[in-house]
Structure 1
Amino acid sequence: MDNILAIILSATAIATIFNILLKRFNIPTIIGYIITGFAIAYMYKLGRNNDSLTQIAEFGIVFLMFTIGLEFSIKHLLSMKKDVFFYGFLQVLLVGGVIALGAEYFFGIEKKSAIIIGYALALSSTAIVLKILNDSGTIHTIYGRKALGILLFQDIAVIPILLMINIFSNQNSSISSLLLQTFYSAVIILGLMFIIGKYLLNRFLSLVVWADTQEIFIASVLLLVVGASFLSHSLGFSYSLGAFLAGMMMSETQYKHQIEADLVPFRDILLGLFFITVGMQIDLSLIAQNYATILLFLGVMMAFKTLVVFTILFFSVGGRVALKTGLALCQGGEFSLAILALASSSHLISTNTSQVLIVTVVLSMVMTPFILKNMKKIVNSITKEPDNGDFKIHSSGIKDHIIVCGYGKLGQEIVYRLKKMNVNYLVLEHDINLVKLGQNRGEPVYFGNAAEKSILQNAFVENAKSVIIAINNEKKLILLCEVLKSFDAPIKIVAKASDYDEKKLLKALEVKHIVNEGREAAKALLHVALEENPTE
């Protein structure tokens, strides 16, 4: 007991100290957790395959997949069907197939083992990629959506890969019986999720909310998440697939935002534990003995996975987005580690081969936060942002105009009203698709990141009557206000506050013109409701 407490205390202290230090250099906290795992494994001589700890840590991925599921309705998933089922399928098929052939013909690995290795390495890290994309807000960009779609298919692909391990290692059951069992399991889990989601879930959550006790609400949500994960695992699927389906089910309820807010602390703590277990997999002696092989595998794997994604996406989204997506998915993943460990215990892969591949995957996961953090610099060094005449600000100098930052739904509504009022304006937007949409409508929408001072100078911000910020991302909103405040000339900033905390942050930056979203919506609703002769 004392030893367990010492390990927990040491892990907490090391993780806290390292993450504070790393934050000073703008390095993601994931690296701090991996270093912590590596440190405590050596300090306390912990085994590299601690099954009980790994099972607990896996629930970090479970809660992450659940919160991702909350943001997706069935309709949303179907709208992404090309990203998930076409691009995802192509990525897994091509990467897994080519690596399997290479392992068999160049390294003499037996065909069954080569197939498992190939498709294990085809998977990427859901935990790292989605956490960083969520934290940075890039999950909603084009490349973020493409990466998410492919990651979702990879999570589904874990099922047939695990089935292959069962088939290759199980001499007692026939392939047809195993496939039939998997089909029945899929029908059962999807059928149960549909029945619970359609007929029982809302009633159950209404009863819980009626009890008006916070801990009961959290406990009931934990019951649903863990229950769905357990059911999925019991039927031969991954825990995280069950959690994702549960999240999608709850995304249709009115309680989704409260559920997400309550589960974030559980998700983040368990994700931290998961990354600690990743750090525990690093074996320095093994790296020293096989460093040349590991570096070769690492370079080839990451370059090849990037190339495959780039190739399959190039013609649909262009080189820049395709390259970003490829770089985001170039690493091995947490399921790669699980599959390689399972294949080793099933005697499909030798212990030494398994350890070399596991260290290669872990090193690729360690590199990923740096790649994602410096994505723009890496991509800019290879291909520049589009800067052709169609998307540049042509004006030789304008003044007393309105600058609208963002051409989403709110920005489009503002532009529509400015046009009716015959007010001079221009729009800055960083999403090339929205820029094209605006320019096709004949609007003065220009490509550029409004949070860059040079872009604002090109828009003659110091001569503008005011700047309206029409973006919903809090981090980008604050960053943009900070940049606008850095100009010598006073600039009239008009910003929307979604809640009290956002309003507080804007006031701290001395933004004087803040529109309270909730209050203005309430005024408009009451005005219409109390009109004596309302028009239909």
Structure 2
Amino acid sequence: MAAETSGSELVNVVALLGAAVVMVPIFRRIGLGSVLGYLAAGLLIGPFGLGWFSDPQAILHVAELGVVMFLFVIGLEMRPSHLWSLRQEIFGLGSLQIAVCTMALTGVGLAFGFPLPVSFIGAAGFVLTSTAIVMQLLGERGDIALPNGQKIVSILLFEDLLIVPLLALVAFISPDMREQAADSRWLSVGIGVAALAGLIAAGIWLLNPLFRILAAAKAREVMTAAALLVVLGAALLMQVGGLSMAMGAFLAGVLLSESTFRHQLEADIEPFRGILLGLFFLAVGMSLDLAVVARNWPLIVSGVLAMMLVKALCIYVVARVMRSSHAEALDRAVLMAQGGEFAFVLFAAASAAHVIDATVNANLTAIVVLSMALTPLFVILIRPLIPKKVESMDGIDVAENLSGTVLVIGFGRFGQVMSQCLLARGCEVTIIDTDVEMIRSAADFGFIVYYGDGTRLDVLRASGAPTARAIAVCVDNKESASLICELVREEFPHASVLVRAYDREHAAKLVAAGADFQIRETFESALRFGEAALRALGVEAEEAAETAAEVRRRDAERFELEVAAGDVRAGRSMMLGNAPRPVPTPFTAPRREARPLTAETAAVTRETAEEAQ
């Protein structure tokens, strides 16, 4: 019998993993995101789909640990000083948004004919945005660390804190409240405060010494176990105190954010977090009761649309009032327009306290689940309507009527280093790039970099290409480099064209395009690295240098054969080890007006470029 039970559980695990492995890549492939893929997989194999699972709530209860671990990882990135700097967003922006949304959504409930207590519970549950979905979407876009992402994280944190007073409020408005003694209520509050204080004390005085002892033991698996112990222990302590498990994990992460073990803890938790978070989305998909939706579909469909629309409008208005841009406000409104996982906790508590009945609980749960499922889809649909952020051009000079002996296109790490040789000889160099932030940073070190797209012929003319004796293409995009090389060779044949190549194939294409000199961006540095590795192994310096030179020679021979086989103009190619076509000297092109590059500035720029490597 035990073997049968064990086999059945194994089948369930295989079914969950199989559904995720099949559906998530499909949804990501068609551009719908992994969250919607998990939700669809859960709906497919759940009790209201194929019926492989009959109790999604049990899975959801376990899968909530994924949200817990996710918030722990977020907490590790939130140093206390950084968290304190977000206090205005957390308590100012967060409280304003929640207050406005709660009042508006309560009005929606009243308009649907529900009593005030039921309307308030439904509104309060829907206000609690899904931390899991929003953080997953922000993470996939890489926006968590950006200012707009930080504001959203701040609001989510405040909403997580809000579940505590909401649960207390449910107890107060319960018809059974008279049966509960006042002493019992104050005892619950005291337990919660004590749990919170205990967690903070443990984080300050116990956790770092514990991890130092475990690190000294050099037992990798024990460190992983300790990381899980911290996360689950903090969550359990908060749950015992009647607070949010997610809040406990987040606080534990914040308390360890200054620790030297922060990166190790994050690496240990990451695999568990990813699996459990996916399991959470699967369980949410399973929880969508299609029978309830079918019986009450007019109410549920209209409720989902009304609640999401009103909440999105409120979030947009609050964001604009707090001086966010239209694009930022619209993005935040769509991302946070759904209900969240804590709504299930609130509705269950309200049902147990007889504030709402079982039917209302099922309807509200279906509305929240549908809103969570629709959010990734709405994010995709609204994306074309969000205007792209236009970077400010204040203080940026646009390439126009310039002249110089050498035109450098692209001023990343490669361009910075190569320009040092030219600047050291006093050459007249014109530099253009399209990265506004880089241009501003370069100005701080004495470089004059103009804004200009080297793939445009008009920009090349305005940047001085007609009078330049050499044009150095240092951009890090191989398609752009090839296009610039072709343009320069056709329109400015008098200039020597030197191009940064990405790899061997790209280098051959550049030869075909007429480049006078090309070099693979990592080839020479890799050879020097290999030569140093040989010396580290005890090989004599002269022998190591000869070995590197032999590798260079063989590579040049292979490359020449490939170029010849490709029937390209090998005669124009300047291979490694060959000198490029000499540029006439001295440089006598008319000097453009620019800030002088002093000896001190040149030294600083050389050091900066070397560090950038």
TM > 0.5 fold call: yes
- SS of residue in 2 equivalent to 1:349: coil
**Once the two structures are aligned, what percentage of the paired residues are identical?**
28
Match of 1:512 in 2: 522
Return the offset for 1:19.
Answer: 2.0
Residue segments in structure 1 that go unaligned for 5+ positions in a row: 469-479, 495-509, 520-536
Q: 1:309 aligns with which of 302, 308, 315?
A: 315
Kindly report which structure 2 residues correspond to 1:358-369, keeping only aligned pairs within 5 A, or say none. Answer: 358-369=365-376
State which of 96, 114, 135 in structure 1 corresponds to 2:102: 96
1:493–1:513 Cα contact (<8 Å) kept: no
CA deviations on 1:383-405 (whole Å, 9 max, x unpaired) are x6447875998434767235346
Superposed CA deviations along residues 466-486 of structure 1, whole A, max 9, x for unmatched, are: 557xxxxxxxxxxx7466567
Q: 2:119 matched to 1:114?
A: yes
Match in the other structure for 2:332:
325
CA distance in 2, matches of 1:7, 1:457: 63
Of 79, 87, 101, the match for 2:93 = 87
Which aligned pairs between 1:173-252 and structure 2 lie closer than 5 A?
173=180, 178=185, 181-182=188-189, 184-252=190-258
AA at the equivalent of 2:156? L
Assess, with a 3 A threshold, how the Cα gap between structure 1 residues 437 and 486 changes in structure 2: closer, same or farther.
closer
Pairs aligned (count): 477
Deviations 1:514-534 (A, max 9, x none): 989xx9xxxxxxxxxxxxxxx
Partner of 2:26: 21
1:336 and 1:217 mapped to 2: Cα distance? Answer: 34
**TM-score between the two structures when normalised by the length of structure 1:** 0.77
Using the TM superposition, give the Cα deviation of residue 202 of structure 1 relative to its aligned residue in structure 2, in angstroms: 1.6
User: What residue number does 2:43 align with?
Assistant: 38
In the superposition, relative to structure 1, how do residues 149 and 388 fare at CA in structure 2: closer, same or farther (>3 Å)?
Answer: closer
In the TM superposition, residue 439 of structure 1 has moved relative to its aligned partner by: 10
Residue 447 of structure 1: how far off its partner (Å): 9.7
- Which of 393, 399, 416 aligns to 1:395? It is 399
Q: Which moved more, 1:116-125 or 1:346-355?
A: 346-355
Cross-structure match for 2:548: none
Q: How do residues 121-520 of structure 1 correspond to structure 2 at under 5 angstroms?
A: 121-169=126-174, 170-173=177-180, 178=185, 181-182=188-189, 184-314=190-320, 315-373=322-380, 376-380=383-387, 385-386=389-390, 390=394, 394-396=398-400, 400-401=407-408, 403-404=410-411, 424-425=430-431, 428-429=434-435, 465=472, 467=474, 481=477, 484=480, 487=483, 489=485, 491-492=499-500, 511-512=521-522
Distance (Å, rounded) in 1 between the aligned partners of 2:442 and 2:184:
56
Whether 2:75 is the aligned partner of 1:64: answer: no
1:54 equivalenced with 2:63 (yes/no): no
Partner AA of 2:152 in structure 1:
A
What is the TM-score with the length of structure 2 in the denominator?
A: 0.68
Name the CA shift for 1:515/1:123 in 2 (closer, same or farther; >3 Å).
farther
Asked whether the equivalents of residues 83 and 149 of structure 1 are also in contact (C-alpha less than 8 Å), the reply is: yes
Match of 1:523 in 2: none
| Distance of 1:455 and 1:125 partners within structure 2 | 45
Rounded Cα–Cα distance in structure 2 between residues aligned with 1:137 and 1:456: 34
Instruction: Quote how far apart the aligned CAs of 1:49 are.
Output: 5.3
Tell me how far 1:172 sits from its aligned partner: 2.7
The 1:146/1:513 distance shift into structure 2, 3 A limit, reads farther
Deviations 1:487-536 (A, max 9, x none): 46385379xxxxxxxxxxxxxxx6427989xx9xxxxxxxxxxxxxxxxx
Q: 3-state DSSP class of the match of 2:242?
A: coil
Judged with a 3 Å threshold, the aligned counterparts in structure 2 of structure 1 residues 78 and 435 are, in CA distance, closer, same or farther, namely farther
* Contact kept? 1:37, 1:275, Cα under 8 Å: yes
The residue type equivalent to 2:399 in the other structure is S
Contact kept? 1:97, 1:119, Cα under 8 Å: no
Give distance in 1, aligned partners of 2:70 and 2:259. Answer: 19
Shift of 1:371: 3.7
CA distances 1:353-389 after superposition (whole Å, capped 9, x unpaired)? 2222222221221122234456642313xxx644787
Q: Relative to structure 1, is the Cα distance of residues 403 and 100 closer, same or farther in structure 2, using a 3 angstrom cutoff?
A: same
Paired with 1:171 and 1:322, the residues of 2 have a C-alpha distance of 44
Q: Secondary structure at the match of 2:144?
A: helix
Task: For residue 492 of structure 1, give the secondary structure of its aligned residue in structure 2.
Answer: strand
Q: Report whether the alignment pairs 1:73 with 2:88.
A: no
Query: Aligned partners of 1:456, 1:175: CA distance in 2, in Å?
Result: 79
For 1:260, give the aligned amino acid: E
The alignment yields a C-alpha RMSD, in angstroms, of 4.1
Q: Per-residue displacement from partner, 1:398-435 (whole Å, max 9, x unpaired)?
A: 672353469xxxx99x99xx99999644564588xx99
The alignment partner of 1:316 has SS state of coil
- The CA distance in 2 between the partners of 1:82 and 1:457, in whole Å, is 47
State the Cα distance separating 1:245 from its structure 2 match.
0.3
Whether the aligned pair in 2 keeps the contact of 1:146 and 1:325 (CA below 8 Å) is no
The answer to whether the Cα contact below 8 Å between 1:229 and 1:240 also exists between their aligned partners in 2 is yes
10-19 vs 435-444, greater mean Cα deviation: 435-444
Displacement of 1:342: 3.0
Whether the 8 Å contact between 2:398 and 2:450 is mirrored in structure 1 is: no
1:292-330 deviation line (CA, Å, top 9, x unaligned): 322222222222222222222214222221211111111
CA distance in 1, matches of 2:457, 2:34: 32
Residue 499 of structure 1 is matched in structure 2 by: none
Q: CA deviation at 1:37?
A: 1.5
CA-to-partner distance for each residue in 1:25-53, whole Å, 9 max, x for gaps? 23322222212211222333644652x32
Q: Distance in 1 between matches of 2:351 and 2:323?
A: 39
SS in 2 for 1:400: strand
Counterpart residue type for residue 109 of structure 2: A
CA distance, structure 2, for counterparts of residue 322 and residue 193 of structure 1: 36
Distance 1:353 1:436 in 2: 58
Q: Do the aligned partners of 2:105 and 2:311 also contact (CA within 8 Å) in 1?
A: no
- AA matched with 2:150: R
C-alpha spacing 1:115/1:207, structure 2 compared with 1 (3 Å): same
Q: Distance in 2 between matches of 1:32 and 1:275?
A: 9
